Amino acid sequence: MNIEKRVKELVEEKIADKPNLFLVDVKFHSNGKLIILVDGDNGIGIDDCVAISRHVGFHLEEENAIETAYNLEVSSPGVDTPLTLPRQYTKNIGRTLGIKMADGTKREGKLNGLTGDAILIEEIKKEKGKKAEIVESVIPMDKITETKVLISFK
């Protein structure tokens, strides 16, 4: 039995009646740590995390799905977790993103929106000897290797 696949099914079952919540990822590490990342269009509260944890834990025990001792952790993705789903991008419109491109370059800009398979960012372009200007760029998702929200402490 594929544990990650079964856990995804259990989480989807539990959040089916909460359309604002969505599953981001499930990882079962060899050290016995089972991590479930769930988010919401308006964030996710501790009560929802607890309910998901109880639901998944109960069914895994019931089915005796994991032979060894394991540690179940349900949380929202941390600020250091890369964005992977279009819904996560939508949730972060207006925030500044750090983007690693497939060609190895890095870009930074304010997320203005999404179109089909690309994101729109506002970035500052500075050419030598010229005044910096703000330009809106369209970046295809398939050219991005990693996107993180940049937190400013100014």
In this predicted model, what pLDDT tens digit does every residue of 106-130 receive, in sequence order? 999 999 999 989 999 999 988 888 8
Q: Which CATH architecture has domain 86-149?
A: Roll (2.30)
* pLDDT confidence bin for 1, thresholds 50/70/90: low
Q: Which CATH architecture has domain 3-75?
A: 2-Layer Sandwich (3.30)
Domain boundaries, the chain: 3-75, 86-149
pTM (global) more than 0.75: yes
- pLDDT, mean of residues 2-23: 96
* pLDDT confidence bin for 154, thresholds 50/70/90: confident
Res 142 pLDDT > 80 = yes
**Average model confidence (pLDDT) across the chain:** 94
What DSSP line would sit under the chain, residue for residue? --HHHHHHHHHHHHHTT-TTEEEEEEEE-TTSEEEEEEEEBTB--HHHHHHHHHHHHHHHHHHT---S--EEEEEPPPTTSPP-SHHHHHHTTTSEEEEEETTS-EEEEEEEEEETTEEEEEEEE--TTS--EEEEEEEEGGGEEEEEEPPP--
